[in-house]
Structure 1
């Protein structure tokens, strides 16, 4: 088949999932099913089927997965860790060939980075579980932080993740080692990562973009300087004291360490061109980030 047809997505109306759904619907090649909790009041877009499930009932999850070619999971980092494992077990029992786990962020092959940013162990456990079930292949999407949301390091935009997923699914599933010679099919990324990026920028790059967009000068801003190691240590201390802000501070700061751990563009290369992702303009999306009031965050 030239593309996968049936795509189930968890978190279809969320910050990441909604963009993936938008791009899948635009492609016009897929039947998209939103898997939601039985008590959810979220409204899915027209053209999306809805399967309401009970996470406490394995059979309910399996029924929602039957006939699906791909399960895409987009869940909050605050979601119970067992929820994703339940979805993976249901996908395996339903014979779903592909799973895109909730893996949208840092380069998971860089163990010091992801472990010190607290993302490594839980993500590895999920991927290991998929492989141990022996039914589905997994694909992780490395896209850095969301630029729209955080103006963070080596970032991508929410919509770029959506385009990445839609482009990959449109290029076909096949089976392992059967990509028909067409680089870019799902089989080429089986049990591995796809690397995308909108921009690879420093904090200085982002500040200069903000100056251009807002028409301000550097002297209009209050600028302070703090070493990344010191700021990371402060974040860890805040976490020990029960301050959740410390988690965010430490996670972001770790990617800005001067060893360039967060710059995967140079070390791993990008799949942007392979997936047909367009070149994007930094200032355009800085403008959206600083002016948008009614958004999806």
Structure 2
């Protein structure tokens, strides 16, 4: 749970790599930039954690020392809407990611629920719901109870991950919280966010359905995005004109509702735009 609005990158920024920084250097470098969140990228992981427990625990301590709140993005190979074999492998992958996240003291494990494929949306949702409930039971048996599983809103209509579906998963499965990817919603709905009211409506919907804590401590992703009829195409920086959504509009809603979100930048310039979003919100809170 964030104690204030926090900002950080999805993965190690390119500038850090240019410095030949190790993973253990990342929290300190983020703190030096005035950032205080980081989403570890486990997106290529298989069915076992691909980090040693001692390294994960050490990384978690480094993050704590530098006041950087951690989350973890789970494997892209998770698909809870596939065939039985795919679903079982996906469960194992999510358990592995959640286990490593707890080693790190990360708070949220972000994951993509899956693709509808040839299934009707209701059938795909039912399969995902059943699978996610089983994952939570497995995590309980392993003592992995201090992390939340975060189904993410998705950017293509071929993917399970509308706002309604994500909220419904969280209504029906314990140890979950929604991950609101604002760019994905914008792309999925072909330019959803044009006004402050458009952002406010999402916040009010989450609060009404999942409660004040779910919205006050929201975990979210933000970037500008380009989209087509098929949904999300690619990400753009905050400075690129002609693309949305506009973070300044969301900042007004964060200030209005006194939210403490974790805002993860998925811009092509990860930390640069995280800093810009932080400063936009600071200005809004001071006005």
Give TM class, smaller chain: 0.3 to 0.5
Query: Larger radius of gyration, structure 1 or 2?
Result: 1
TM-score by length of 1: 0.35
Select the structure that is richer in strand.
Answer: 2
- Select the structure with the greater relative contact order (CA < 8 A; seq sep ≥ 6): 2
